Chain A
Amino acid sequence: MTVFLICALVTLGSLVYTFYIPGEIYTGPVKTRLIYLRERKEAVYDNLRDLNFEYKAGKFPDADYQEMKTSLEDEAAAILAEIARLEQAAAIAASSLRDRKGARV
């Protein structure tokens, strides 16, 4: 009888915990290309920071440093340009949606 009670309690506890979901479920933001690009931007900035630090530490001659810095800045600039373009497109889309809603009202 004791064994049965213990097993029943464990089962009940597990089932209640599994199926009783109070409140809203957190689903998080949908990962878009914009979010991906922001992550890439951070990665490239990190690379730039590392490069600057290593240069100051005397690991690279000037010519090497300038070449690597230019290359990384090109990469960062390209990412920032696409971010700007996507943000602009999103802003236009949001504004036209607002206009359409306003026209309906």
Chain B
Amino acid sequence: MSQFSSIALPQIGSFALLLALGLAGYSFVVGALALIIGGPGSERLGETARRAGIAAFGTILLASVVLVTAAFTDDFSVAYIFHHSNKDLPGPYKFAVLWSGQEGSLLFWSLLLAAYGFVLRLRYKTDPGLFAYASVVIAGVQVFFLLLLNIAAHPFAILEGQIPPDGSGLNPLLQYPEMVIHPPMLYLGYVGFTVPFAFALGALIMRYPGEKWIQITRRWTMVTWGFLTIGIFLGAHWAYSVLGWGGYWGWDPVENASLMPWLMGTAFLHSVMMQEKRGMLKTWNMWLVFSTFWLAILGTFLTRSGIISSVHAFAQSSIGSWFGWFLIITLATFAGFYVANRSHLRSEHKLESIISRESSFLFNNLLFVVACFVVLWGTWFPKISELIQGSKVTVGAPFYNNVAVPVALFLLVLTAVGPLLAWRRTSFESLKRNFMWPAAGALALGVVMMILGVRPWKDISYFYSLMAAMLAALVICTVISEFVRGGRVIAQKTPGLGLLGSMVHLYHRNTRRYGGYIVHFGVAVVIIGILGTPFNREAEKEMGFGDKINIGPYTLVCQSYTQDDNPNFSNEWAIINVFKGNDQITTMYPERRLYKASSQPQTIPRIYPTYSQDLFLVNDLYVVYEGRNEETGRPIIKAHLNPMVPWIWTGLIIMIFGTVTALVPNAAPIAARVPARVQTAPAVGAGD
């Protein structure tokens, strides 16, 4: 480390953060002032506010680059670098130091928000008025995070006393390749929901005429939702691959914190279509988008304050009260503007029938909100019980599963049914026409599963698995039927294109709708992956040379066990040969590490998906090196056989493919006929 970097880096970083606060503050205050004043002359003021917001991005980027540089140059004079890095930490993890601790991750939050704000402010010509309001809202949120960084959680705080020769090292749980991408994805999701919220609040304040703001924010919302989805699934995969308990979701408060905004965001993505198409649910959508943003902030608060015990809660700190006040202020601000301008949000149409696309969206939304409330209640219950009774009562997985599983099944029903219903009302004849084949497909699968030995009356979990499989099949059948029906229409118009080519053409004509169907397909595949859970098996044994564990159709044979050492960690592992019948199918190397800088142990499970043996009914063979018997020196090996889990990750890939394809602009629409009764019709009373 050069003398320059040890002196200059923290100072430059600190100054950049202070300057960023000044610029964001200017953007917020002067931007708001320009909007309040209005009229000629205020445009130049507003323009300087917009530019200050852009400049703030530059300075926050500088601060972030400085922090990463400090990590790469092992500048342990910076307390944050000392606590979260060490000299022998591999390069990618040194980059990940930026979001590995509280101060760094708040800086990262701020950087992402500034980046979103940067793009938004560059694209202001789309609708300068609305963008000016959104820019001010984003600047307001930015000011909060920069105040935190400058006062309560300074990433460039200098270590007191002599500079230590090496750092304390990164938390071993975070030294895993997915940890380099999981937090950025999650944060891109969390932070990104600020953008639709900013547009919604802006539209509410200015009583924006029409629903154009929803079209403007649609891509922002979908991109954000996509990032949050990837982040949640990568987190689940990380938990599965690193924590060594054989599961991927434990209803941990921090997992819940990411799930809550996802549930509300998903509800918003659906209900917003009713506002676009029919001018309905305006108030509901406004509160949904606010709740999504608010829950994202609450999630950051949960992760960062240490207020609720979790494997992910990184620190006990004073920033909890900052977040508490920010949550109160945002709620009060939004509620205030809502009360003042609620007359602007009157619905243009009423629900005409209980069997309609609108009602399916409505029920879908209610289920998402119920699920979110249950997760919120369960997450906060330990704190609430502590406040009331004086002792913490924690709710476990059964509490969540009792509600989440039935809600998920109902949501699957709606996922299957919704696309087949007509807007306004659906007749019985129409229902019969659309549901016969998908329902027959789902029933056939149920019958096959029962013939294969699934007995739903023996255990509630088997019942749920059967139902989930049938409903997932129903979703898949409806998606296929939508593509095939649409493809046939195109094929009739353009002979020679073929059904497959027609379906591709169909998707290009309405990427949002058919991309959405692909997402539904992915969700069904994820559900198929989850429904294997009741059939999980496990076995544990101390294994000497040649010892065996039998699990399902597989036999695990211990070939050897050994240990090794490198500058970052020492480790011991076993070599396990896996057989199916008499055929050896693979060799696995479950491992246990001891990281030197932090003196913390870490289990590295090994996972083998049995695609080549089982194809559709694929299992995960999951082997953990639990430790060593000190008396015999032999390793204790735990094996799990987790059916269908690989489908969860496959489902995620399909969901992301669907989301990305839904973002592609539509091919040019075909011109519609103009109604003939233009001159005689009465006026419409909607809008401002």
Where the two chains meet, the residues of A that have a C-beta atom closer than 8 Å to any C-beta of B are: 2-3, 6-7, 10-11, 13-14, 17-19, 21, 25-28, 30-33, 35-37, 39-40, 43, 45-54, 56-61, 63-64, 68, 71, 73-82, 84-85
Q: In the complex, A72 Cα to B290 Cα: how many Å?
A: 31
A89 CB to nearest B CB, Å: 12
Q: Which residue on chain B has the smallest CB distance to residue A32?
A: B209
Residues in chain A near residue B420, CB distance under 8 A: 59
Say whether B678 contacts A77, CB under 8 Å: yes
Does B426 interact with chain A (Cβ within 8 Å)? Answer: yes
Q: Which residue on chain A has the smallest CB distance to residue B23?
A: A14
Say whether A73 contacts B424, CB under 8 Å: no
Say whether B277 contacts A10, CB under 8 Å: no
- Chain A interface: which of B125-133, B134-142, B256-264, B593-601? B125-133
Where the two chains meet, the residues of B that have a C-beta atom closer than 8 Å to any C-beta of A are: 4, 7-8, 11-12, 15-16, 19, 23, 26, 43-44, 46-48, 51-52, 54-55, 58-59, 62, 124-125, 127-129, 208-212, 276-277, 279, 420, 422-424, 426-427, 429-430, 433-434, 485-486, 488-489, 510, 669-670, 672-675, 677-684, 686-688
Say whether B423 contacts A31, CB under 8 Å: no
Residues in chain B near residue A77, CB distance under 8 A: 675, 677-678, 680-681
Q: With contacts A54-B422, A59-B420, A77-B678 known, is A18 near B26, CB below 8 A?
A: yes
B355 CB to nearest A CB, Å: 11
Residues in chain B near residue A59, CB distance under 8 A: 420, 422, 430, 433-434, 485
Q: In the complex, A89 Cα to B484 Cα: how many Å?
A: 48
Residues in chain B near residue A56, CB distance under 8 A: 489
Residues in chain B near residue A80, CB distance under 8 A: 674-675, 678, 681
Say whether A40 contacts B48, CB under 8 Å: no
Say whether B682 contacts A78, CB under 8 Å: yes
Residues in chain A near residue B688, CB distance under 8 A: 33, 36
Residues in chain B near residue A85, CB distance under 8 A: 683
Say whether B681 contacts A36, CB under 8 Å: no
- Besides A58-B485, A59-B434, 18 more A-B contacts (Cβ < 8 Å) are A2-B8, A10-B59, A14-B52, A35-B209, A40-B684, A43-B276, A43-B277, A48-B672, A57-B489, A59-B485, A64-B426, A64-B429, A64-B430, A76-B674, A78-B683, A79-B684, A81-B680, A84-B678
Partner of B8, one of A6, A18, A32, A52: A6
Q: Give the 9 A-B CB pairs with smallest separation, nearest first.
A: A77-B681, A57-B485, A28-B128, A36-B210, A14-B55, A36-B209, A73-B675, A80-B678, A77-B677
Q: With contacts A25-B43, A47-B277, A78-B684 known, is A11 near B489, CB below 8 A?
A: no
Q: Which residue on chain A has the smallest CB distance to residue B487?
A: A57
- Majority SS of interface residues in chain A? helix
Q: With contacts A18-B52, A28-B129, A63-B427 known, is A53 near B675, CB below 8 A?
A: no
Q: In the complex, A78 Cα to B686 Cα: how many Å?
A: 11
Say whether B683 contacts A81, CB under 8 Å: yes
Residues in chain B near residue A63, CB distance under 8 A: 427, 429
Residues in chain A near residue B679, CB distance under 8 A: 81, 84
Say whether B15 contacts A45, CB under 8 Å: no
Q: List 21 A-B contacts (CB under 8 A).
A: A2-B4, A14-B59, A21-B47, A26-B128, A27-B43, A27-B129, A31-B208, A35-B209, A37-B684, A37-B687, A40-B686, A48-B673, A57-B486, A58-B485, A59-B420, A61-B433, A73-B675, A77-B677, A77-B681, A78-B684, A82-B683
B135 CB to nearest A CB, Å: 13
Q: Which residue on chain B has the smallest CB distance to residue A84?
A: B678
Q: In the complex, A71 Cα to B264 Cα: how many Å?
A: 32
Q: Which residue on chain A has the smallest CB distance to residue B7?
A: A3
Say whether A25 contacts B47, CB under 8 Å: yes
Say whether A18 contacts B675, CB under 8 Å: no
Q: In the complex, A26 Cα to B686 Cα: how many Å?
A: 29
Q: With contacts A3-B11, A33-B688, A73-B675 known, is A53 near B486, CB below 8 A?
A: yes
B49 CB to nearest A CB, Å: 9
Q: In the complex, A36 Cα to B26 Cα: how many Å?
A: 33
Residues in chain A near residue B670, CB distance under 8 A: 49
Partner of B423, one of A26, A28, A52, A68: A68
Q: Which residue on chain A has the smallest CB distance to residue B43?
A: A25
Say whether A28 contacts B23, CB under 8 Å: no
Residues in chain B near residue A82, CB distance under 8 A: 683-684
Q: In the complex, A84 Cα to B682 Cα: how many Å?
A: 12
Q: In the complex, A84 Cα to B684 Cα: how many Å?
A: 12
Q: Which residue on chain A has the smallest CB distance to residue B16?
A: A10
Say whether B427 contacts A43, CB under 8 Å: no
B438 CB to nearest A CB, Å: 12
Say whether B678 contacts A81, CB under 8 Å: yes
Residues in chain A near residue B15, CB distance under 8 A: 3, 7, 10
Q: In the complex, A43 Cα to B276 Cα: how many Å?
A: 7
Q: With contacts A54-B422, A60-B422, A71-B424 known, is A21 near B277, CB below 8 A?
A: no
